[in-house]
Amino acid sequence: MQAKLTINLDAICDNWRALDALSGANCETAAVIKADAYGLGAATVGPALAAAGVKRFFVAQAEEAVALRAALGPTPEIYNFSGLMAGDDEAVTKHGMIPVLNSAAQVTSFSKVHAGHPCGIQLDTGMNRLGMEALEVASVALDIAALKPDLIMSHLACADEPLHPMNAAQLAAFNAMSFALPASRKALSATGGILLGAPYHFNLTRPGIGLYGGMPFKNARPVVQLDLPVIQVRDVLPGEAVGYGAAWVATRPSKIATVSSGYADGVLRAANGISLYAGHTPCPVVGRISMDLITVDVTDLKDVPPSLSLLNATQTVDVLAQKAGTIGYEILTSLGSRYHRVYKGKNE
């Protein structure tokens, strides 16, 4: 029996509306659904968001754009952050992908093959990851002018830290670099940037993690619930060990539940001090997390339920991430393929 991952589509759409409400009426809110909608299923999340009013979607690879087109139909715009790479031409011509061009080389090859088709331009304003710097923009200024980009964008490196000086520096750089460029719309902010306020919004924002209930969007509705079925419950005597490495030893007569999930399913072995929940009651995970199994101390429960939850409104992806030394994004995108996925909300 598989563990059950419940994904609340209504919560995702509510989170999109809440983020959209943070920017002005002349600023459109898109949706980033790269990496299979942060692991939650782009083929289902995409159409739900489109029904809620999202008109522009962002992915990270041409293959994702092609798959998303099949799920969304012809109308919504689909942008690809990695631009136009070798082999991506059909994604543009057949599937209407809008590449966000990242280099002079991409601008040149797009101009040769796809002139007349919409494109975006990514500027590097200090993150040094993707996008053109000022001199590179100048080297293809005529091409860019001829392409009339649909979108000029850049990305903030430190938007989750509102007081970080990089934010204002990147904002100034974006204003300076994009000033003279023709574009239908400009975009600088992901979830963190939306929360920084109006100067960061321009005409379009690109939230990802906030849609899926993660920080830095504190007011997000939780989106995922993960319930792990109990395979067996055993009695363990004081002095007996549980799991690999005999890393946990009982100090009292204990009841240990073994549940179905493990690091192969994205439950990070490094996670420390996590609990599984019987309703609202936390039960500590004891012993090592193994590939398919997790052992839980349920001694203090009166009745052991058929399943215990790992993710819920109390133990969110961010709580779990903190205990594993990572971020909510990594918890979400690591959720494995062995879960029975159930979508809750108006689309199902």
Ligand X SMILES: *Cc1c(COP(=O)(O)O)cnc(C)c1O
* Catalytic residue positions, numbered: 34, 244
Residues sharing a CB contact under 8 Å with residue 234, sequence separation 6 or more, in sequence order: 255, 256, 258
Using the structure block, give the residue that is written with the tokens 């209504």: 10
- For CA atoms 78, 79, 81, 83, the dihedral sign is positive
Per-residue tokens: 96:
């209407």
Smallest gap, in angstroms, from Cβ of residue 118 to ligand X? 18
Residue 190 contacts ligand X per CB under 6 A: yes
Which residue sits closest to ligand X, CB atoms considered? Answer: 208
Q: In terms of CB distance, is 52 or 276 closer to ligand X?
A: 52
Among 140, 144, 171, 209, binds ligand X (CB under 6 A): 209
User: In 219-248, which positions are buried (b, 16+ CB within 10 angstroms) versus exposed (e)?
Assistant: ebebbbbbbbbbeeeeebeeeeebbeeeeb
Q: DSSP per residue over 197-249, as a string?
A: -GGGTTTEE---GGGGT-TT-TTPPP-EEEEEEEEEEEEE-TT-EESGGG-EE
Contact 288, 244 (CB under 8 A): yes
Q: In terms of CB distance, is 127 or 304 closer to ligand X?
A: 127
Of 43, 70, 55, residue with least CA distance to 16 = 55
The interface region with ligand X, picked from 1-9, 184-192, 252-260, 303-311 by CB under 6 A, is: 184-192
Smallest gap, in angstroms, from Cβ of residue 267 to ligand X? 22
Residue 207 contacts ligand X per CB under 6 A: yes
Of 9, 31, 10, 7, residue with least CA distance to 19 = 31
From CA 238, how far away is CA 130, in angstroms rounded?
A: 56
Residue 206 contacts ligand X per CB under 6 A: yes
The interface region with ligand X, picked from 62-70, 170-178, 206-214, 223-231 by CB under 6 A, is: 206-214
Q: In terms of CB distance, is 118 or 192 closer to ligand X?
A: 192
CA distances from 274 to 84, 87, 317 (A): 42, 44, 12
Smallest gap, in angstroms, from Cβ of residue 206 to ligand X? 4
The interface region with ligand X, picked from 185-193, 229-237, 264-272, 308-316 by CB under 6 A, is: 185-193
Smallest gap, in angstroms, from Cβ of residue 285 to ligand X? 28
Q: In terms of CB distance, is 91 or 190 closer to ligand X?
A: 190
Q: What are phi and psi of 51, to 5 degrees?
A: -65, -30
Residue 191 contacts ligand X per CB under 6 A: yes
Q: In terms of CB distance, is 48 or 153 closer to ligand X?
A: 153
Q: DSSP per residue over 25-41, as a string?
A: TTSEE-EE-HHHHHTT-
Site string for ligand X, 4-43 (x = CB under 6 A): ----------------------------x-x---------
The interface region with ligand X, picked from 64-72, 175-183, 208-216, 252-260 by CB under 6 A, is: 208-216
How many binding residues for ligand X (CB under 6 A)?
12
Smallest gap, in angstroms, from Cβ of residue 34 to ligand X? 6
Residue 46 contacts ligand X per CB under 6 A: no
Site string for ligand X, 131-160 (x = CB under 6 A): ------------------------x-----
Using the structure block, give the residue that is written with the tokens 């509306």: 17
Residue 343 contacts ligand X per CB under 6 A: no
Using the structure block, give the residue that is written with the tokens 């659904």: 33
Question: What single-letter DSSP state applies at residue 105?
Answer: H
Q: In terms of CB distance, is 118 or 210 closer to ligand X?
A: 210
Among 81, 248, 277, 339, binds ligand X (CB under 6 A): 81
Contact 69, 46 (CB under 8 A): no
Smallest gap, in angstroms, from Cβ of residue 283 to ligand X? 31
Q: Which residues bind ligand X (CB under 6 A)?
A: 32, 34, 81, 155, 190-192, 206-210
